[in-house]
Structures are given as structure tokens and as C-alpha cells.
Amino acid sequence: MKVLAFDIFGTVVDWHGSIAREMAQLHPQVDGDAFALAWRAGYKPAMARVMSGELGWTLIDDLHRMILDTILPQFGLAHLGEEERRHLNKVWHRLDPWPDSVEGLTRLKKKFTITTLSNGNIGLLTNMAKRAGLPWDCVLSAEVFRAYKPDPATYLGVAKVFDLKPEEVMLVAAHHDDLAGARKCGLKTAYVERPLESGAKNPKDVSPRPENDYHCASLVAVAEALGC
């Protein structure tokens, strides 16, 4: 293996906790936990509209804004103006990393080329990395390939960018559907446990699955497993 590609939302950064914390500061009357879940719930349906051809190619920033405008009335925030909505939508650029992320990535970077492979757009991923200190060698996005994961164009695109065979690339993610898509394209896979991705009230099953090459409790554990 020469390149490690990382899913971002939920794997490297804590989207739920970050959004809930921001809502507590901006709009303390709103249930931040429920707001974060509602916003994220619109993610896959919105991408499906693009993948089906109902919508043309759309950046995740714009899909996030479409979902945001839909859910604001549900939480008594229909009155927010354009500037407030734009600021709130950019919360996805301000997501906090999990406590182990920067250390784990820094260690892995010494031995491997590390890159994002996210449905998030390039500007979002770059702003996030700058703020959070995520030490990427490269920022790859669905925007580069004009296809959302799990389209094979994304996983095979990483190998093509670096002129590698698929088996020389490993996807690191906290989502089994993402890893399954990568595996079908010949990539290696590492599952990272993020039991609290959707908040403490909604713990998820992080049991090992034999089809993955590695199963790790954190990104630091991934580094240890790979001798970094």
C-alpha cells in the first residue's frame, strides 16, 4: 500500500457534535442534537437526486444549503436571513476532528501518502483541514471526479491520480457501505470505530466484519496497525 484515502464526515471529523455545539451557541433554544440529525438525514436523499439525474452536478455545500432551508422552519428558524443562513451552512467547514485524528494522520503521513476521499467539495475540505490542522498530502473530492461515493469513479479515481493499482490504495472509513464500494474496486479497507458518530443518544454497532482488512478503534490504532 502506498496511499491511504480517508472518508471525512464521521470518520475524521465529528459532524454531529460540532453542529450540536454550534447550535447551542447560536440558537440555544433549539435542540442541537435533533437539528444535527435532521440535517444529516437529508444528505443521502439529496445526493440521490443528483445521481438519478433529477439534479445536475451539485456541490455538497449547495446540497447542505438546500437541506438547511428545508429544515429551518421545523426548528422555528424560518426567520433567519441570508447572511445567517450562509454562516450556519458553513458549519460544515468548521467541523472539529475526533481527538485521535490529528495524531493518527500525522503518524500515518510519515509512511504513506494520505488524502481525503470525501463527497464534500474541495473548498469545504480545505477550509476544514486548515482550521482543524489536518495534515493532508492531497485533497481529493467527489468534485474532482464529478461522482459521489460509492460510484466506482471515486475509488478508482484515487488510484488513477497517483498512477497506482487499486490494491495499492486503502480506504479508511467508519461506514461499511463506503468500504464495500471501495472493496468492489479492488482497494484495501480499514474500518474505524466511531460509535458516537450520531451522538450519545444514538450509538451505532461497530462490531468487526471479516471482509475488512483492518478493524481499528481509532486513527491512532490504524497507525499502530500499519507500523507507524
On whether both 145 and 135 belong to a single domain, the answer is yes
**pLDDT greater than 90 at residue 111:** yes
Q: What's the domain count of the chain?
A: 2
**pLDDT greater than 90 at residue 217:** yes
- Contact status, residue 22 vs residue 93, Cβ threshold 8 Å: no
On whether both 112 and 219 belong to a single domain, the answer is yes
Chain segment 15-66, per-residue pLDDT in tens: 999 999 999 999 999 999 999 999 999 988 998 998 888 999 999 999 999 9
First to last CA, the chain: 13
Q: Interhelix angle for 122-132 vs 60-71, to 10°? A: 90
Domain range for 78 is 15-93
Of how many residues is the chain composed? 228
Q: Which domain-ending residue is among 93, 120, 142?
A: 93
Q: Which domain-ending residue is among 64, 93, 122?
A: 93
- Contact status, residue 43 vs residue 118, Cβ threshold 8 Å: no
CATH number reported for the structural domain that contains residue 148 in this entry:
3.40.50.1000
- Helix (H/G/I), strand (E/B), else coil: 43: helix
Distance CA 65, CA 44 (A): 14
Q: Which domain-ending residue is among 41, 65, 93?
A: 93
On whether both 86 and 157 belong to a single domain, the answer is no
On whether both 209 and 128 belong to a single domain, the answer is yes
CATH number reported for the structural domain that contains residue 20 in this entry:
1.10.150.240
The residue type found at 25 is Q
Please return the burial class of 139, using the count of CB atoms within 10 Å of its CB with bins 0-12, 13-18 and 19+: buried
On whether both 43 and 121 belong to a single domain, the answer is no
DSSP assignment letter at 9 = B
On whether both 54 and 130 belong to a single domain, the answer is no
- Distance (Å) of CA 112 to CA 39, 55, 145, 178, 215: 34, 37, 22, 21, 18
Identify how many contiguous H helices and E strands the chain contains and give both numbers: 11, 6
Distance CA 106, CA 97 (A): 13
pTM: 0.95
Distance CA 113, CA 1 (A): 10
Query: Is beta strand 113-118 parallel, antiparallel or unpaired with respect to 214-216?
Result: unpaired
For the residues 156-182, what does the mean pLDDT come to? 98
Chain segment 164-173, per-residue pLDDT in tens: 999 999 999 9
- DSSP bridge partners of 172: 6, 190
Chain segment 138-154, per-residue pLDDT in tens: 999 999 999 999 999 99
On whether both 59 and 107 belong to a single domain, the answer is no
